[in-house]
Amino acid sequence: MAREIYISYDRKSDLWRAHVFVQQVRRLFRPRINIARTDWDKYETATAEIRELLMNTVVTVVLIGSETAERPWISFELKQSIERGNGIFGIYIHGMQDHNGGLCHRGRRPLDDEGFDYPAYDWDQNHCCPKQREIEKPLLNSLNLRG
């Protein structure tokens, strides 16, 4: 069975950045990625979809933008990931442009207020090569791949 990655991100502010990140990660590492593309208005629909998307995943990557830590579904996704035993790490995406070319400020890590600690790394879509090695090792280790 293929090892899969779940991507957690702020669907209101960072949809474009998430799309760019997923495309770059697929090009670099070729993993199977599960990513929810919509924001949910009904609790039952949201929780069921998140749990389904987390099935078969071994790592959850949270894309950290300026408002990510304030989004309730991000906390739910991360807590479900912890419950599953997934490895978790964050990627700060403040250096990535949105669809209008704008940048956001560096946000707080989700779950910091609750004392949950996990590694987080900066990502720069225009200069990912220097950052790539820093991110590549935990990603490949989480997937039990060699690179």
Q: What is the pLDDT of residues 60-112, one digit of tens each?
A: 999 999 999 999 889 999 999 999 999 898 999 988 888 888 888 999 999 99
Question: What's the domain range around 16?
Answer: 4-143
**Smallest Cα–Cα separation from 110: which of 124, 120, 123, 97?**
120
- Please say if the pLDDT value at position 143 is more than 60: no
pLDDT at 139: 62
In this structure, what CATH number is given to the domain that contains residue 80? 3.40.50.450
Which residues in 100-123 are b (16+ Cβ under 10 Å) and which e?
eeeebeebebbbeeeeeebebbbb
- Please say if the pLDDT value at position 29 is more than 60: yes
Token couple for 17: 């950045």
**Residues found in the chain:** 147
pTM of the predicted structure, to 2 decimals: 0.81
Gap between the Cα atoms of 50 and 68, Å rounded: 17
Domain count, the chain: 1
